[in-house]
Amino acid sequence: MNVYAIEELMYRVSDIFLAPVLIALLVLFVYALFAMGMFFTKSWQRSSRSLEYKRAQTDLTPVPGYELFSHYILASKNALNRIKFDDLEVFALKKLEKVRLVTRISPMLGLIATMIPMGPALKSLADGNIQGISDNLVIAFSSVIFGLVIATLTFWIATVEKRWLAVELLDCQKLMEAKELALAEEAKQETSLEVEVMHAVS
């Protein structure tokens, strides 16, 4: 197999990827719009329940819009499930995982969908087919615009939600430290009480 045959094979195979990549971009665009709707809903919940969240840190009750904090409260109420700080960090990473993946994947898919039509466009240029050039360039530029729009929306969501989760993580850490301190104080009091009882018996 000579070099020309390999080039022709790669050209044919690359054309096969165009349709799946365009479909993937469309699906990711729909997801980005859905994520934006969820983001604005959560933002409204957080702004309208900010005072309730402050009270919840004392009352230890879950609050809508504060997912990490609510997860910690519900998990800590389960006596069989002693939640750790590392578990909260993993929970936060899982919450951001999907939107961060979309942020990184969408520009790559946009670039792929831009480069694939460039081959046929250059071929049309060599053949003097102006219509073929314009048709392929429309696909190329539309694809990269879609990819960048998706990345922009999801990057904004990921950045703001990362800050939200970081704040909640710190609040949960304070509650965990206060709980451990209270348990240590209680254990100390029980120990001192046992010592007093032993002294009294002896």
Taking CA 54 as the corner, what is the angle to CA 50 and CA 56, rounded to the nearest 5 degrees?
110
Residue range 134-147: mean pLDDT, rounded: 87
User: What percentage of residues in the chain have a pLDDT greater than 90?
Assistant: 40
DSSP 8-state assignment for residue 60: T
Task: Give buried/exposed letters for 148-178 (b at 16+ CB in 10 A, else e).
Answer: ebbbebbbebbeebbebbeebbebbeebbee
Query: What is the reported pLDDT for 154?
Result: 96
Residue range 117-125: mean pLDDT, rounded: 76
pLDDT band at 122 (very low <50, low <70, confident <90, very high): confident
Query: What is the reported pLDDT for 17?
Result: 86
Domain extents in the chain:
3-201
Q: What share of the chain is helix, strand, coil (3-state, %, to 5)?
A: 90, 0, 10
Query: What is the reported pLDDT for 97?
Result: 93
Nearest to 113 by CA among 152, 136, 140, 150: 140
User: Sign of the CA dihedral 100, 104, 105, 107?
Assistant: positive
**Has residue 160 got a pLDDT over 90?**
yes
pLDDT tens digits, 23-51: 999 999 999 999 999 999 999 999 998 88
pLDDT tens digits, 54-94: 888 888 888 898 999 988 888 887 755 677 888 889 999 99
Residue with tokens 């990921």: 158
Residue with more model confidence, 165 or 180: 165
φ, ψ for residue 179 (rounded to 5)?
-65, -45
Residue with more model confidence, 73 or 126: 73
Nearest to 28 by CA among 160, 159, 143: 143
Nearest to 102 by CA among 1, 44, 32, 20: 32
